[in-house]
Amino acid sequence: AKSLGRNMYQEFTHEMKEETQQRVKLETCLHGAVAAGQLQLVYQPKVSLASGTIIGCEALLRWQHPELGMVPPSRFIPVAEDSGLIMPISDWVLRTACLQAKAWSAAGLPAATMAVNISARQILRHDVAEWALGILDETGLAPDLLELELTESLIAQDVDKVTATFGRLKNAGVKLSIDDFGTGYSSLSYLKHFPVDTLKIDQSFVRNMLTEPGDAAIVRAVIVLAHNLRFKVIAEGVETAEHCRLLCEQRCDEIQGYYISKPVPAGEFETMLRNGVQL
């Protein structure tokens, strides 16, 4: 038993060492990513179920490294948050997204809001309102064409700070949505005072709504809750016609997911915006 214990300990420390080395390697590579032009945004359409038209998109970050290949955001965003790289990266993301949205609107394409994800560390440590309004000013994008998505779990960490930040953004005309709604284990009471426009039902509930009665019940409940609080509601991770039909029946306002389109480069999104999509 003693030697087993030691073996497990050695294995454990070995794994921790590898994990740490991996993170250090990622961090080193990430340092040069912006300057080397390795970051890219892809855009996923959001569609209104009432009109069948694209009402906006979500910008999602991609990192293509020459040796590491395509690194998913779920792996490098936490590294960026822990290393102080999150601000320069987020800065690039927001600026690029705003310039893109501005270009689309200047080209006379149908109006579409540009949604950008905000990281937990960012909102807790920095003045996100001042930062975002500054970039809107620089890029000349109309504030009501920008939407910021914040995850429910991070809101719960400092409701007062988030409420103040949201208030300033909302006053300036920026749209706000709560991402991954239903996964944050937080109290619902904060919602009634919250200046947000949209609740985004987490994709885990949507994915299982056809087979798990519990998940279907949560989806229905979130839609009713959102509407009673005068919020719009969007379902993410919509993959099939059956998801779409059920959400439509339950009066969900908007959908996003592979059923409409995967996240795509700017040029492809522009084509969808021009030609529309099939529901």
Minimal distance, residue 279 CB to ligand C2E, in Å: 15
Minimal distance, residue 74 CB to ligand C2E, in Å: 5
A 10 A CB-CB count for 113 gives: 20
Q: Which residues pair with 147 in a beta bridge?
A: 115, 175
Alpha-carbon distances of 89 from 21, 94, 261, rounded to whole Å: 22, 9, 25
253 neighbors 232 (Cβ within 8 angstroms) = yes
21: left (phi over 0), alpha (psi -120 to 50) or beta: alpha
Q: Map residues 59-98 to x or -, x wherever contact with Ca ion holds by CB under 5 A.
A: ----------------------------------------
Residues at the contact surface with ligand C2E, assessed by CB under 6 A: 44, 60-61, 72-74, 77, 93, 117, 119, 179-180, 203, 236-239, 257-258, 263
A 10 A CB-CB count for 197 gives: 15
Find the part of the chain contacting Ca ion (CB under 5 A) among 12-20, 70-78, 84-92, 146-154: 146-154
Select the residue whose beta carbon is closest to ligand C2E and give its number.
257
Alpha-carbon distances of 270 from 45, 182, 264, 277, rounded to whole Å: 10, 32, 10, 12
Minimal distance, residue 259 CB to ligand C2E, in Å: 7
Q: Which residues pair with 255 in a beta bridge?
A: 47, 235
Kindly tell me which of 72 and 276 has the beta carbon lying closer to Ca ion.
Answer: 72
Which of 81, 147, 152, 179 touches Ca ion by CB under 5 A? 179
- Beta strand ranges found along the chain (DSSP E): 39-48, 54-65, 69-71, 113-117, 146-151, 175-181, 198-201, 232-235, 254-255
| Cα–Cα distance for residue pair 204/238, rounded to 1 Å | 10
Kindly state whether residue 152 participates in binding Ca ion, applying the rule CB under 5 A: no
Task: Report the SS3 class of residue 39.
Answer: strand
Kindly tell me which of 71 and 191 has the beta carbon lying closer to ligand C2E.
Answer: 71
Which does residue 74 touch among Ca ion, ligand C2E, none (CB within 5 to 8 A, set by kind)? ligand C2E
Kindly tell me which of 180 and 254 has the beta carbon lying closer to Ca ion.
Answer: 180
Which does residue 184 touch among Ca ion, ligand C2E, none (CB within 5 to 8 A, set by kind)? none
Kindly state whether residue 147 participates in binding Ca ion, applying the rule CB under 5 A: no
Tokens of 188: 């619902």
Which of 90, 100, 117, 261 touches Ca ion by CB under 5 A? 117
Which of 180, 253, 254, 270 touches Ca ion by CB under 5 A? 180
Minimal distance, residue 258 CB to ligand C2E, in Å: 4
Which does residue 39 touch among ligand C2E, Ca ion, none (CB within 5 to 8 A, set by kind)? none
Minimal distance, residue 3 CB to ligand C2E, in Å: 42
42 neighbors 62 (Cβ within 8 angstroms) = yes
Task: Report the SS3 class of residue 232.
Answer: strand
Kindly tell me which of 3 and 81 has the beta carbon lying closer to ligand C2E.
Answer: 81
The site for Ca ion (CB under 5 A) is made up of 117, 149, 179-180
